[in-house]
Amino acid sequence: MKITLDADKCCAAGQCVLIAPEVFDQREEDGVVVLLDAEPPVEQHDAVHEAAAICPAAVIEVHA
Amino acid sequence: MTGLPIAVVGASAAGLAAVEALRRSGWRGPLTLIGDEPHLPYDRPPLSKQLLHGDWTPEKLTLRTAEQLAPLALDLRLGTRATGLDVATRTLTLDGGEQLGCAGVIIATGVAARTLPGADRIAGVHTLRTLDDALALRSGLANGGAPGSEDVAAGGGGGGRRVVIVGNGVLGCEAAAVARELGHEVTLVGIGPTPMAAVVGTEVGELLAEEHRARGVRLLTAAVDGFETAPADQDGAGDPRVTAVRLAHGGPPGSGGVAAGGGTRLPADLVLLAIGSRPAVGWLDDPALDTTDGLRCDTYCAAAPGIYAAGDVARWDHPVHGRPLRFEHRMNATEQGMAAARNLLAELAAEAPAAAEDAAPAQERRPFAPVPYFWSDQYAVKIQAYGPTAGADRVETTVLDRAERRALALYGRDGNAVGVLAAGLPPRQARALRAVVATPLPWEEARERVAAATADG
């Protein structure tokens, strides 16, 4: 799995951080998403898919 | 294998989330997505922010490209409207007259902007719900030289136009901020004296009012009585163009522009009606459905056997809050689309195990129990709220920094804290507040937890 972000679309909802805190974080100043692990281990994959699906700004793209 | 499709009616955020969840959860049968707009699914919150401002192109709002949708193998019907649903047979009628028998249906038709009688036939009067609405309004805000505005252009002084925004809820406030940032002369007119008060309470609303005033927006409390217009052009072709908004009972003292008859008139080059919305349930005429204030659903988002609803249109029994709720929040659209999809599949698997090769491995239906979330951006102020803040019987607001518009608010109902709002708080603190209201909590306990969550920084 490889994750890419379109971070300038981010609305700082922070849902990705709630769902996959080992993969995503938020910038302290404005809450914009930060990618902690672009190629997370398999045990994180379900959470990452969930985070990508739920992101209200469609910022997270998951590549196989 | 039944061969019947699951149809999702409504191709915005909730409908998109539903079709994606249906496939992820194992639905291999035909899948139809019906949308009345001609566009691929796009995101609405930026319509009143980045798109209106001109920062983003329409393409940036597209939630999925055609390539991203391809693996879903959708029977995609854009520019198509559903006009009826027979609940007992799960048969949809489409606007071309086609009858579509379905294994299951998810209704995600959202809401439509409310308007005022005759407003659609006046040039320069807008609503803001769809991409096309937003592009039309953006063009008006960007183009100071539109037909009929020669007087303004001549009056010049920076080229700002007179923009009147009717309705001081979330949408009206966001649009006012953008119009002001674009240099227009903006008047925000609401029936209630405080912007967004119904959603955030009066103190947070007053803080926002201060920010709007500081940025030069004029705030008025009044009801709108109608519009004044001028003929479109010399030929009389096209719709008449708005020249003023008439207020019903006169504005407050000092609001100016008193017209004959004692009413107040606000000269206007451009008007936005942001006076709320109506759930798009008019097409659902089957008496088996309750369509009072949205489509009534049970705790699983089911409106009837095999019929589910999601997003702005759905009013469902929230299992934690114990009352029917309906949210017009972006986050809810996605979460509820996913929940409705999973529960529909669970129901289909349970009702016809023999036909389950189209469906996922059997799973239990689960009550839909989200922590509601919404955000709003106005100027540099970001508001984030968790839990139902509207309908509170108690609000406690702590202004942390008046000038910076930093504030916290706790919303209570029946003795419990149910909602919390952060304005201008660091993301980590705002996020920590979610846990406080994940379930209703006794008021005093919630106050202590809010204090703890925001103690550092």
What is the interface pTM, i.e. ipTM, of the complex? 0.91
Instruction: For residue range B32-54, list pLDDT tens digits in order.
Output: 999 999 999 999 999 999 999 99
Over residues B174-190, mean pLDDT: 97
A7 by DSSP, 3-state: which? Answer: helix
> Does the predicted model carry a pTM greater than 0.90?
yes
Q: Which residues, 6 or more positions from B422, have their beta carbon under 8 angstroms from its beta carbon?
A: B383, B384, B385, B407, B408, B429, B430, B433
Helix count and strand count (H, E) for chain A? 2, 4
Q: Which of A9, A14, A18 sits opposite B60 (nearest CB)?
A: A9
Higher pLDDT, B237 or B194: B194
B100 forms bridges with which residues in the sheet?
Answer: B92
Beta-sheet pairing, B224-230 with A60-63: unpaired
All domains of chain B in start order, with CATH: 6-112+277-351 (3.50.50.60), 119-150+158-273 (3.50.50.60), 380-456 (3.30.390.30)
Confidence bin at B260 (pLDDT 50/70/90)? very low
Query: Are A53 and B382 in contact (CB < 8 Å)?
Result: no
B284 by DSSP, 3-state: which? Answer: coil
pLDDT of B189 higher than 90: yes
Query: Are B431 and A17 in contact (CB < 8 Å)?
Result: yes
- CATH architecture of the domain with range A2-63: 2-Layer Sandwich (3.30)
Query: Per-domain residue ranges for chain A?
Result: 2-63
Residues of B in Cβ contact (< 8 Å) with A49: 24
Q: Which three-class secondary structure string do you get for B332-369?
A: HHHHHHHHHHHHHHHHHHHHCHHHHHHCCCCCCCCCCC
Higher pLDDT, A57 or B279: B279
Query: Are B45 and A17 in contact (CB < 8 Å)?
Result: no
pLDDT of B304 higher than 90: yes
Query: Are A12 and B60 in contact (CB < 8 Å)?
Result: no
Over residues B116-126, mean pLDDT: 94
C-beta separation of B179 from B186 below 8 A:
yes
Query: Are A58 and B373 in contact (CB < 8 Å)?
Result: no
pLDDT for the residue B360 = 58
Chains A, B: CB contacts within 8 A come to: 55
pLDDT for the residue B188 = 98
Distance from CA of B222 to the nearest CA of A (A): 33
Closest-CA residue of A relative to B18 is A53
CA distance B194 to B221: 8
CB atoms within 10 A of CB B451: 11
Mutate to test the interface with A, among B375, B406, B425, B436 (most CBs of A within 10 A): B375
CA distance B186 to B162: 6
Confidence bin at B105 (pLDDT 50/70/90)? very high
pLDDT for the residue B428 = 86
Confidence bin at B106 (pLDDT 50/70/90)? very high
pLDDT of B58 higher than 90: yes
Instruction: For residue range B379-406, list pLDDT tens digits in order.
Output: 999 999 999 999 999 999 999 999 999 9
pLDDT of B253 higher than 60: no
Query: Are A53 and B21 in contact (CB < 8 Å)?
Result: yes
Residues of A in Cβ contact (< 8 Å) with B45: 11, 56-57
Percent of chain B with pLDDT over 90: 84
> Helices B202-214 and B170-181: crossing angle, nearest 10°?
20
Chain B positions contacting chain A at CB under 8 Å are 13, 17, 20-21, 24, 43, 45-46, 60, 63-64, 330-331, 334-335, 338, 373, 375, 377, 382, 384, 426-428, 430-431, 434
Closest-CA residue of A relative to B17 is A53
User: B276 — alpha (psi -120 to 50), left (phi > 0) or beta?
Assistant: left
Over residues B238-249, mean pLDDT: 91
Mutate to test the interface with B, among A11, A45, A61 (most CBs of B within 10 A): A11
Instruction: For residue range B411-422, list pLDDT tens digits in order.
Output: 999 999 999 999
Query: Are B384 and A13 in contact (CB < 8 Å)?
Result: yes
Chain A positions contacting chain B at CB under 8 Å are 9, 11-15, 17-18, 26-28, 30-31, 49, 53-54, 56-58
pLDDT for the residue B237 = 75
Confidence bin at B152 (pLDDT 50/70/90)? very low
Confidence bin at B199 (pLDDT 50/70/90)? very high
pLDDT for the residue B354 = 57
